[in-house]
């Protein structure tokens, strides 16, 4: 499906949409609602949850929806969105917390660095960031692993950017493109695409993005700008590797949910595309379908992590319970912002705006993947929050009726494009910008030249990769 929105196409298609409300009114209502959303977040500093709800209600009223219809869309949006992601976000948080306290993240990083050696340590850090950010939130992963980048910079006397940028690139890629992190789960849920396809596309485009934005760009910027080791870390001690879990154990546990989800999809594809079904696969398909259900796969991985990385490494059940409970504290805001994105999606869909946009897209010349990227990128640059950018872009795209007719792989490419748009141009309005600045102890100008450019490379590379793949999977 090769489509995008242009001003003239939008109006022409809008006038043809068979809605009882004029297309012009729908378009104006949506634009006013989006403008109010940006105004409330950027200038009024109102919380995104309230901002999105107010924006959705304004769009509904402006589009002529009754109060009962608006309330119904709000309830449906909240319920349908949360039922698709609430368990996954919660389980992912607990899984990541166990990996963090057990030293599993450090073990992966140290093993890869030792294997690659100092000369190729930047590649090891990029891979580490990519793997670790799948189960661990970006902020936590950065805080856990940044000492390793500092330790390498101290040992080699190179700029800290030489090692920090690859690590950041890996973390950014895993955080944006690969489930079970909340962003891609949110978008996949809204678009109705199986997570296995999102994982496949995310791994492909994300790996390329990590390589270009990480080791390659990191070497360039690390050579160009020398950032010394933070003064308070000049006497830092090395990790005690004897107390960390084994590398194969940690990787094996991290791979459990990914392998279960992918195995179910692969077996299903073999059965559906084979004229004479393989009896063995047919018999085990129900079991694989159950085990490959994302919440089941993550539950199994979390329990395995509790036993192997927790209890067997000296943590009591009570200690694990406290760690896992604490890990759920930040998920409340994530889930509510995401659910409000579902509200926005249903308001746009139920008001008829989604159909108007869908018809405009069908009449235009560029891929829907481009529409998704541009919308997410504009919100990202304006608001700063990747979550809000993904939420708004997914809400607009998923409200289009023709989404239901697209292939799962194409929708996975759209998901990756939204993730790419929500990653580019991190600057002063993004909390990640200030976290990186403070941890590396660099000024704003250097942060823009390093972190902001790295994020933009990640987002653009992921988008271009998704666009190329989309041409072959219509």
Neighbouring CB atoms inside 10 A of 204's CB total 17
Q: Is residue 320 pLDDT above 50, yes or no?
A: yes
Residue 300: burial class (beta carbons within 10 Å; 0-12, 13-18, 19+): middle
Task: State residue 13's pLDDT score.
Answer: 40
Give the residue among 32, 241, 83 at the shortest CA–CA distance from 148: 241
Whether 194 shows a pLDDT value over 60: the answer reads yes
**Segment of 210-224, 320-334, 384-398, 420-434 carrying the highest mean pLDDT:** 210-224
pLDDT > 70? residue 190: yes
Measure the CA angle with vertex 401, ends 18 and 198; round to 5°.
165
Pairwise CA distance, residues 213 & 165, whole Å: 8
Read off the pLDDT of each residue in 112-139 and give the average, rounded to a whole number: 86
Residue, of 234 and 276, whose pLDDT is higher: 276
pLDDT tops 90 at residue 438: no
Per-residue pLDDT tens digits for 150-173? 888 888 889 999 999 999 999 999
Contact 194, 415 (CB under 8 A): no
Q: What is the mean pLDDT of residues 351-373?
A: 76
DSSP code string of 339-397: HHHHHHHHHHHHHTHHHHHHHHHHTSSS-HHHHHHHHHHHHHHHH--HHHHHHHHHHHH
Composition of the chain by helix, strand, coil, percent to 5? 80, 0, 20
Number of H helices, E strands in the chain: 23, 0
238 burial type by CB count under 10 A (0-12 exposed, 13-18 middle, 19+ buried): exposed
Q: Would you list the domain boundaries of the chain?
A: 7-470
Q: How far apart are CA 13 and CA 267, in angstroms?
A: 41
**Whole-prediction pTM value?**
0.78
Residue 70 · residue 109 · CB < 8 Å: no
* Model confidence pLDDT, tens digit, residues 2-47: 434 444 343 344 334 334 567 788 888 888 988 888 788 778 888 8
Q: What is the pLDDT of residues 256-270, one digit of tens each?
A: 888 888 888 788 878
Paired tokens of 284: 């085990």
What is the DSSP code (8-state) at residue 313? G
Cα 7 to the center of its chain, rounded Å: 30
Higher pLDDT, 231 or 69: 69
Q: What percent of the chain stands above pLDDT 90?
A: 30
The predicted structure's pLDDT at residue 359: 65
Give, as one character, the DSSP assignment of residue 448.
I
**What is the pLDDT averaged over residues 417-423?**
96
Model confidence at 60: pLDDT above 60: yes
The pLDDT score that the predictor gives to residue 7 is 40
Q: Which of 212-216, 241-245, 298-302 has the highest mean pLDDT?
A: 212-216
Mean pLDDT for all residues in the chain: 84
| Alpha-carbon gap, residue 295 to 302, rounded angstroms | 10
> Which residues have C-beta within 8 Å of that of residue 293, sequence separation ≥ 6?
264
């Amino acid at each position: 499906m090769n489509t995008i929105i242009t001003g003239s196409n939008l109006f022409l298609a809008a006038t043809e949409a068979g809605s009882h409300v004029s297309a012009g009114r729908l378009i104006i209502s949506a634009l006013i609602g989006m403008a109010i959303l940006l105004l409330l977040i950027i200038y009024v500093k109102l919380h995104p949850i309230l901002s999105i709800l107010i924006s959705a209600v304004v769009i509904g009223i402006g589009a002529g929806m009754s109060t009962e219809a608006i309330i119904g869309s709000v309830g449906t949006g909240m319920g349908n969105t949360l039922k698709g992601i609430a368990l996954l976000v919660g389980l992912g948080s607990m899984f990541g917390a166990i990996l963090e306290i057990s030293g599993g993240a450090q073990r992966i990083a140290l093993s890869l660095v030792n294997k690659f050696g100092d000369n190729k340590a930047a590649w090891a850090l990029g891979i580490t960031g990519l793997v670790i950010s799948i189960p661990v939130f970006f902020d936590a992963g950065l805080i856990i692993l940044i000492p390793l980048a500092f330790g390498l910079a101290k040992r080699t006397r190179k700029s800290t950017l030489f090692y920090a940028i690859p690590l950041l690139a890996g973390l950014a890629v895993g955080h944006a493109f690969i489930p079970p992190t909340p962003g891609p789960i949110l978008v996949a849920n809204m678009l109705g695409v199986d997570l296995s396809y999102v994982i496949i596309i995310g791994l492909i485009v994300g790996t390329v993005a990590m390589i270009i934005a990480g080791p390659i760009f990191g070497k360039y910027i690390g050579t160009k700008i020398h950032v010394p080791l933070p003064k308070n870390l000049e006497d830092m001690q090395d990790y005690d590797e004897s107390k960390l879990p084994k590398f194969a154990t940690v990787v094996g546990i991290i791979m459990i949910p990914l392998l279960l989800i992918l195995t179910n999809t692969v077996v299903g594809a073999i059965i559906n595309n084979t004229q004479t079904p393989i009896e063995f696969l047919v018999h085990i398909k129900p079991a694989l379908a159950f085990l490959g259900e994302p919440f089941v796969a993550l539950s199994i991985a979390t329990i395995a992590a509790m036993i192997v990385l927790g209890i067997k490494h000296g943590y009591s059940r009570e200690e694990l319970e406290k760690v896992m409970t604490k890990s759920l504290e930040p998920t409340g805001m994530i889930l509510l912002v995401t659910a409000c994105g579902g509200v926005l999606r249903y308001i746009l869909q139920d008001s008829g705006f989604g159909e108007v946009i869908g018809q405009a897209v069908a009449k235009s010349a560029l891929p829907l993947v481009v529409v998704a990227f541009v919308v997410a990128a504009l919100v990202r640059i304006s608001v700063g929050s990747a979550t809000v950018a993904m939420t708004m872009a997914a809400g607009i795209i998923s409200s289009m009726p023709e989404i239901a007719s697209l292939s799962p792989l194409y929708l996975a490419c759209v998901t990756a494009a939204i993730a790419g748009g929500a990653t580019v141009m991190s600057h002063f309005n993004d909390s990640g910008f200030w976290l990186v600045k403070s941890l590396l102890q660099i000024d704003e100008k250097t942060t823009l030249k390093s972190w902001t450019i790295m994020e933009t490379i990640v987002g653009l590379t992921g988008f271009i990769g998704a666009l190329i793949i989309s041409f072959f999977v219509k």
